[in-house]
Each structure stands twice: as structure tokens, then as C-alpha cells.
Structure 1
Amino acid sequence: MADIKTWCGDTRTKVKTHQLVYLEADAAKLAHAVTSVAAVVPSHYAAPDRVADILQRLGKPAVAEYVRTKLPEGARSRSGDLGEILATSFVTDYTGYKVGVFKLRWADHREMAMRGDDILGIRLDTKLTVKFLKGEVKSRATLGSATIDEARAALNATHGRPTPHALAFVADRLFETGDTALAAVVDQYQLQTRIKLDQLSHLLFTFTGSNPSKLLTANLNAYTGKVHQVAVGLRVSTHQAFIKQVFEKVIGDGNKP
């Protein structure tokens, strides 16, 4: 994944029964961070076997062009996409949940945000109980309370559970890519068995240039629902420049002979 642990400090705080995780990028490690994040970006837009097939048939320049045409060009789209990529890396490296599919591979248009929940994580614990993680992601240079409120509203929607659209989308993509066993698990909970609140956690993930800790703490304190909450603030002080550098490196690496 994006190797976040190697370029961010990690501070964890308990807020009521919930968890706040603050990750701050080390200014001395930003070059490493750009390299680490850029290395995983292409896989979020194109499946490795698809890339391998193009490489075998048409060569590396064609692969570079294929990936480039899927990357967003607008600053806002890049910001949102990179937030989701970093959130996916956090889920994979820190939580034990599996993110079933990389949604950006199926985007209708590279400048359009996708519908449905930003993150859907799935975990089978040692007793074979299925756990779900519903996540919302926000990427802002300067975070405000209105953005946090928007994420909270999305998490609370559909009685706090993943949306039917998100469950169906993930199940379809898992089935199409051959992970039929996990697709069947998602099908069961979408079509037959209601997800219980004690099977569910919420992730509110922010990727920002400002420190989001106070806003996230206030939001967790104000939450009165029954779903376990994890709020994550990943701060890169050079937020806008960092995003630009990551995408420029992805394109530059693809163009290397």
C-alpha cells in the first residue's frame, strides 16, 4: 500500500468509546511519501492483469498512455481520489479489514466522483463473524466543520449501514474478478441478512493540510449513535503541492523508458 507508517507520525486518542487517529507527515520524509504513494496510485485505476496484458501486446508506452487517460487532471478530482487511495491504504495497513474492490477502476469519468459509500471494508474474525466498515473520505487543504458534518450525514444515512448500492457494487465487482466467496458473503448481507449495528464500524477519514484533530474530536463527542467510530486525520501540511507532486510522479514514472 502507500506505506503510511514510514512517513507519518501516529497519535491515538480515545474519545468516549471511539478512536481518534492523527497521522502527520514528517516534513523530512515527504519525498519518500510522494514516491510511496505514487507507486500505488496506478493500481487503483487499472487492474494489474489488465496492465500486464497491454504491456505484453503493445509495450510500455501504451501502458503509460492507458494509465494516463484514467488519471484525473482537475485539482479537485485529484484531491478526492488521493484521499480515497490513502484511506484504502490506511484500512488495509491499520485495521485488518479488506477493501473488496478499488472503486476508481470503474469510474464513469475520470473527473466525476463515484456514487455510494467511499469505503466498504469487510473482515471475518476468528469466530467467522462478518464485520463491515463503512467509510467516508474528505480531502481539503483547510478542513471546516461543514465538511465534517457532511461526512457524518453520509455515515448516518441508511440507518448507519452501508448503502444497498455500495453493497451491490462491491458484490458485483468481486464476482466479476473471481472472488466469488467474498461476493457471496456480501450478497447474503445485502439480500438476506440485515447487518447488525454490532457488526459495523464507521470510518471518518480526512486528508488535509490543516490539523483536523479538534474538529474530529468534537464530532466524535457529539455522536450519539450505537456504531463504533474511528476518525482519522492524515495531515500533509503541503496538501495541494503534495497531490500535484504525486500525480506528476505517476505520469513521469510511466513515461520513463
Structure 2
Amino acid sequence: MGLYERWCESTKEKDKRKHYWTYVEKDGGRDEISGDLAETIRSHYDRLERIAEDVERLGYTVAAKILSEAMPQTAKGRSGDLGEILATELVEEDIGLRVPVRRLRYKDGRNMAMRGDDFIGAGYGGKDEKLWLLKGEAKSNKKLGKSTVNSARKVLDRDSGRCTPDSLLFVANRLLESNDPAENALGRDLRDEVGVKSLRADRIDHMLFTVSGNGPHASLREDLDAAGTNRDHYVVNIHVEDHQDFIAAMYQGAEDLGDA
């Protein structure tokens, strides 16, 4: 059972290619997934096997210090990062595309936001099983409002709705560095797409992902209603009432590797 299935009650509405998804925490859901979510957060900043190697060589306390150096220490930085992490997990759990590169591992500074698309889903689909992409923008706010939603939509619409070339090339090059032939093949297809731009709009889906303390603002529905019909649009809200306390607790758990 996936993270979201254990954590939240969901409502999913679909009108042709428009998807409106809302999630609310179940009673006891947070306790159910807190340990797994802490590990998931760690995995977005470093490989779990590398963290385990640090523990074996240096002990839990020093390994935790190393991991902490990769994680943001400001409330704003943690909020933004956790939005991207939760969005990535949702894409892989509920849409079936991969987000093949954990880009938070490559930040210039732990408290700095990364430039480019927040997350890119990739895979193969359709009758021809050819390249399929998802361009995503993630927002995490104590209080979500119309200006934030409008700002996210502008980002999704730029570059004619395509993944920005620098973001796509970043993902492609990381995959081409892998020793896995399947990763190399996907990386090559993504790199080719940067040059030839052959994908039609109907193979580049969009997701506007939000996590907020005030739940789904009316502007989310308005945004989806105004979206075009030439691609799949996913508009998502995760309602976490104690938004800031939740983020602080999840990062505290992620940084705590134990004391053995």
C-alpha cells in the first residue's frame, strides 16, 4: 500500500483530460506514514545506501550531521522542498510515470531554491509506447491563495507548455551518467527531445501540485476550468491543517538517524 493510500482520504474527479484531486489526512494517517516519509525525505537528498555507509563508518551522530548539511534549515526552504518531494511521490504512486532524478541531491546550497521545472515525470505510453512527459510545479503554503496558483500556472505555460530545455537536459544528463542501460536509453530520448522538440502537447501533461494549511482554495478549481484540453491536467491539493508544524516534525524525523 502506497504512502498516500495509507496517509490520506482522497477525492478524484475527472472530466475528459482534466483531473482534480484533493487529499485530507486520515485519523491516525500521519502516525502510520511518519517513519516511511522521514526515510523518503532522506532519499531525496542522498542515496539511502550512502547514508547507511556513513552510519557504519562514522556512527549515527556523525552520519546525521552529514545528512543535515544537505537539508534546508529555514522554514521556507523546507516547505518548498517538501512540496517537491510529496509531488514526486504522488506522480510515481498515482500516475505511473517516473520522476527519474531526485534533483534535490544537486542543489547549489541547501537553503536555496533550484531553478527550472520543479519536477519532471517521464516514461513511455500510448499505443506506440513512445516518450511521455509530465511537467510539474509544486507549491507549499500555510495559506494558499489565487496569486500562488496563477504564478504556478504561468510557469507551466511557459516554453509553450514544454519542459524547459535546461530542466530536461539536466535530467537527461544525469540518466546518461548511469550504468543502467534502461536509464541511458531514457536519458538519450530526453536529450533528443531537447533538440528536436518532437513531442506533441498531448504527450506533455501538466500537474499543479499544492500542499496547504487552508485546503483547496477556490482558485484551484478555477484554474483547472480555464485550462486547455490538449493535454492531461492534474490539479492537486494536500490539506495539512498544521502545515508548518507538520513540516518541522517531518524534517526532525528525517534528520534523526537514531542513537545506537
- Tell me the SS of whatever aligns to 2:113: coil
1:256 aligns with 2:256: no
Could you tell me the percent identity over the aligned residues?
A: 34
Stretch deviating more after TM superposition (205-214 or 115-124): 205-214
Instruction: Give the conservation status (yes or no) of the 8 Å contact 1:17–1:228.
Output: yes
Match of 2:202 in 1: 198
- Tell me the SS of whatever aligns to 1:183: helix
Give 1:118 shift. 0.4
Give the ranges of 4+ consecutive aligned residues of structure 1 lying more than 3 Å apart after TM superposition: 52-62
Match of 1:51 in 2: 51
- Tell me the SS of whatever aligns to 1:99: coil
Stretch deviating more after TM superposition (94-103 or 19-28): 19-28
Q: Sort the Cα spacing of 1:2 and 1:213 in 2 relative to 1 into closer, same or farther, 3 A.
A: farther
- Tell me the SS of whatever aligns to 1:12: strand
Q: Normalization by structure 1: what TM-score?
A: 0.93
Match of 1:64 in 2: 64
Match of 1:115 in 2: 115
Aligned AA (2:202):
D
Q: Unaligned stretches of 5+ in structure 1?
A: none
1:174 aligns with 2:175: yes
Match of 1:139 in 2: 140
Rounded to whole Å, the distance in 2 between the matches of 1:213 and 1:28 is: 25
Match of 1:79 in 2: 79
Match of 1:218 in 2: 222
Match of 2:248 in 1: 244
Match of 2:22 in 1: 22
Aligned AA (2:255):
I
Root-mean-square deviation over aligned CA pairs: 1.9
Give 1:56 shift. 4.6
1:153 aligns with 2:154: yes
Give 1:95 shift. 0.3
- Tell me the SS of whatever aligns to 1:39: helix
Q: Render the CA deviation track for 1:89-145: whole Å, top value 9, x for unaligned.
A: 100100010001001000000100001100100121263221100000000011000
Q: Unaligned stretches of 5+ in structure 2?
A: none
Stretch deviating more after TM superposition (180-189 or 90-99): 180-189
